[in-house]
Structures are given as C-alpha cells and as structure tokens.
Amino acid sequence: MKKYLVTGGAGFIGSNYIHYLFEKYSDIQVINLDKLTYAGNLENLREIENRPDYQFVEGDICDEKIVDDLMKDVDYVINFAAESHVDRSIGSPDDFIKTDVYGTFVLLESARKYKIKKFVQISTDEVYGSIEKGSFVETDPLMPSSPYSASKSGADRLAYSYFVTYDMPVLITRCSNNFGQYQYPEKLIPLFITNAIEDKKLPIYGDGKNVRDWIYVLDHCDAVDFILHNGKNGEVYNIGGGNERNNLEITELILNGLGKSKNLMTFVEDRLGHDRRYSVDCRKLESLGWRPKYEFSKAMDLTIDWYKNNQWWWKKIKSGEYLDYYKKQYKMK
Ligand code: NAD
Ligand code: DAU
C-alpha cells in the first residue's frame, strides 16, 4: 500500500491525476493538499470525495506545520501546486514567487526530513523559454521569460539541488501545454470553447501565430506516473504531445467543432513578453518506453464535448471574481 501526497490536487492537472490514480490502482492512499485558490475546485473530485482511501486537506504548501504533519508516513510526493497562469503572473507576480518557489522549498525540506521515497516536481516546458526552430533537450539552459516560468525554473532547480546536495530521490518533469476536462477557463482552450458556446468573442493575442505543443491531460498524468516508477533519480524528463499548433489553428478547430462563425475571432493586444514557440524533444522519455496514447483531434473532440455537456461546472466559475479579472484583462465594459 503506497501513500501519495498530491499537492494542488483540486486544480486541473492534479484532479485529473487523482482520478487517474484511483482508476489504475486499488491499493493506494491519496492525500490531496490544496489551498483552494481561485483555481482550486473540489467539484473536480466529487465522484471520489467519500472514498476511505482519499483525504482532502485544505492548506498551503508554504505552511511548514501542515506540510510536516502530512508528510510523516507518505511514500511519494507529487508537487502540482502552483500559481499557473502566465497572464496573472504578469499582473501580480507575488503569489508565484511565494507558492512556486518558497512552497516547493517547504515541501522539499519536509520530504528530506521524513525520507520520502520519491519526490516528483511538476515543472514545465516554459522554463526553457521560446525556440524558433528545433526542440529543447533536457540539458539545454533555462531561459524563462515570464514571472511564472521564472518561478517554476527556480523550483525546478531547487528540486534538483536536493538531489545533488542531499541525495534525495527527486524527479523533474517538464510538460508541454495540457488540455482537457476541468481546466480553468482562463487558459486558451477552455476559454475559447466556453466563449464560443456563449457566442462571445475569442480574444487572440497578437497575430495568433504563437505555437504550443498540446497534450491531452490524461497522457500527462500517465507520463507522470510512468516517470515516478521508471525514471532515474535526479533526472529531468520532457513530456510532449507531439501536436504543435499555432493559436489560429486551435481557434479554428474549436469554432468548427462547435459549428460557430469565424466572426467570433477578435485580435487583441499581445501578451507582454509573449513566447513565440515552445517545443520539447521527448526522446529521453520515449527511450524508457513511454509515448502519448491519445490522438490529438479525438482528444480535442472529447474536450469540446465535455465543456458542452458540463456547463454547470464552468458557468458557475465564469461569474464573480472571474468576470472582474476578465473585464480588467480585456478592458471589457
Ligand atoms: P491549476 O492552476 O489548475 O491548479 C493549481 C492548483 O494548485 C489549484 O488547485 C490551487 O488551489 C493549488 N494551489 C495554488 N497555490 C497553492 C498553495 N500555496 N498551496 C497549496 N495549493 C495551492 O494548475 P494546472 O494547470 O493544473 O497545473 C498544475 C501544475 O502543472 C503546475 O505546477 C503547473 O506549473 C504545471 N504544468 C501545467 C501545464 C499546463 O498546461 N496547465 C503544463 C506543464 C506543467
Ligand atoms: O507550456 C506549458 C504551460 O502552458 C504551463 O506551464 C502553464 O501553466 C499553462 O498556463 C500554459 O501556458 P501558456 O501561456 O502557453 O497557456 P495559455 O493557455 O495561457 O496560452 C496559450 C497560447 O494562447 C499563448 O500563446 C497565449 C494565447 N492566448 C491565451 C489566452 C488565455 C490567446 O491568444 N488568448 C487568450 O485569451
């Protein structure tokens, strides 16, 4: 019986990971430590919330006491907790530094004290910065360009330092852009799907030619679990979907998928410091035997259908604090 401490498990990827774990294993225990920021949502976990092998703890990864109390008999730590949205990091970086850097430090210190068997730091492909041609390998230098990616780079290298200095069993993953169910509708794909359903404008930054490599969230979850069990301590693993698309292509896919007019597309001011292209070389992970399983267009169809059929989930979110944020962001009336 292995015990997982999943941080940020009420967010998009963390909640998908917890569902993934319970579908795959019958002999595990999962503790979900989440601060429930604007991005944390317990409705993502309602099907499993009463399981005896699952425990939710509301708390901050920066809080040493809570972290120490939970860490005592844990086997694996998977650190998803983070402030994750680039636009928010441009407006107010403070919480990014606190959670993404200091919070990771608190978890690492506690994991060291309790001799945890594996510590997986969920980093991101954004730590490399932008690349015009070719793809980054794990040993390339980090050149993050936003306060978000800079704070994630800090956490990434801090985790590595605990392997080098204290021989801690740390693994680091750098995944590309995820999409799928339960993604907060501030990120490109869920924002555009939900806006299109409501016949609202889709705000495309700049010329819309920025490229991202898209991966279905359940493939990311599968890769994290694979790396936890098959990765080598101290190593970094890139994870990608192999689906590079620019934002105009993604927008058209969504509009076509929903049978909506291209008139909904609207070009807005570019994001400050907007990275042109992300691309990771995944041969290191492939050589261990892992590849994504979901075909891109099928996963996009699944995702569009999910947002069409679960309007109760996102309509609640797209009100209140969310609306205030978006009015400011796009200078909406
Ligand atoms: P998310 O914003 O949907 O979820 C983050 C979760 O962390 C939320 O539930 C939030 O409440 C929680 N959280 C925030 N601060 C906390 C704190 N101080 N203590 C405890 N919990 C806290 O993010 P996501 O998209 O699910 O991303 C999860 C992780 O994966 C992040 O570390 C992110 O950097 C990384 N990542 C994301 C992507 C992507 O495309 N979304 C790609 C690669 C890596
Ligand atoms: O690459 C992995 C990263 O992907 C993760 O580490 C981050 O947590 C995650 O937020 C994501 O970052 P991006 O900045 O790439 O994702 P976002 O969905 O914010 O934007 C994707 C692209 O779409 C980017 O080029 C900006 C553009 N965009 C985004 C929004 C929200 C628009 O054109 N309009 C929008 O309204």
Pocket test for ligand 1, best of 5, 32, 37 (most atoms within 8 A of CB): 37
What's the token pair of residue 273?
Answer: 């410091």
pTM score above 0.85? yes
Q: Where does the pLDDT of residue 331 fall: very low under 50, low under 70, confident under 90, or very high at 90 and above?
A: low
87 is catalytic: no
Asked whether 121 lines ligand 1 (CB < 6 A), one says no
What separation in Å is there between the alpha carbon of 261 and the centre of ligand 1? 33
**pLDDT of amino acid 48:** 97
Asked whether 243 lines ligand 2 (CB < 6 A), one says no
199 is catalytic: no
| 179-212+244-273+295-328: in CATH 3.20.20.80 | no
Residue 9 CA, closest ligand 1 atom number = 9
Q: Where does the pLDDT of residue 67 fall: very low under 50, low under 70, confident under 90, or very high at 90 and above?
A: very high
In this structure, how many other beta carbons lie within 10 angstroms of the beta carbon of residue 305?
13
148 is catalytic: yes
**pLDDT of amino acid 58:** 98
pLDDT tens figures, 138-189: 999 999 999 999 999 999 999 999 999 999 999 999 999 999 999 999 999 9
**pLDDT of amino acid 333:** 36
Q: Where does the pLDDT of residue 326 fall: very low under 50, low under 70, confident under 90, or very high at 90 and above?
A: low
Residue nearest to atom 1 of ligand 1 (CA): 11
Residue 247 CA, closest ligand 2 atom number = 23
Residue nearest to atom 28 of ligand 1 (CA): 80
What separation in Å is there between the alpha carbon of 120 and the centre of ligand 1? 14
Roughly how many angstroms between the first and final C-alpha of the chain, as a whole number?
Answer: 54
In one letter, which amino acid is 149? S
Across residues 72-80, what is the average pLDDT?
Answer: 97
Q: Where does the pLDDT of residue 319 fall: very low under 50, low under 70, confident under 90, or very high at 90 and above?
A: confident
Percent of residues, the chain, with pLDDT higher than 70:
96
pLDDT at 327 over 70: no
Residue ranges covered by each domain of the chain: 2-178+216-239, 179-212+244-273+295-328
pLDDT at 332 over 50: no
pLDDT at 24 over 80: yes
- Which member of 34, 125, 219, 225 is catalytic? 125
**pLDDT of amino acid 321:** 66
What's the token pair of residue 115?
Answer: 């001799």
Percent of residues, the chain, with pLDDT higher than 90:
95
What class has domain 2-178+216-239?
A: alpha beta
> Does this chain's domain 2-178+216-239 share its CATH topology with 179-212+244-273+295-328?
no
Mean pLDDT estimate for the chain: 96
pLDDT tens figures, 87-119: 999 999 999 999 999 999 999 999 999 999 999
What separation in Å is there between the alpha carbon of 328 and the centre of ligand 1? 23
pLDDT tens figures, 205-230: 999 999 999 999 999 999 999 999 99
Q: What is the rounded distance in angstroms from the CA atom of residue 10 to the CA atom of residue 18?
A: 9
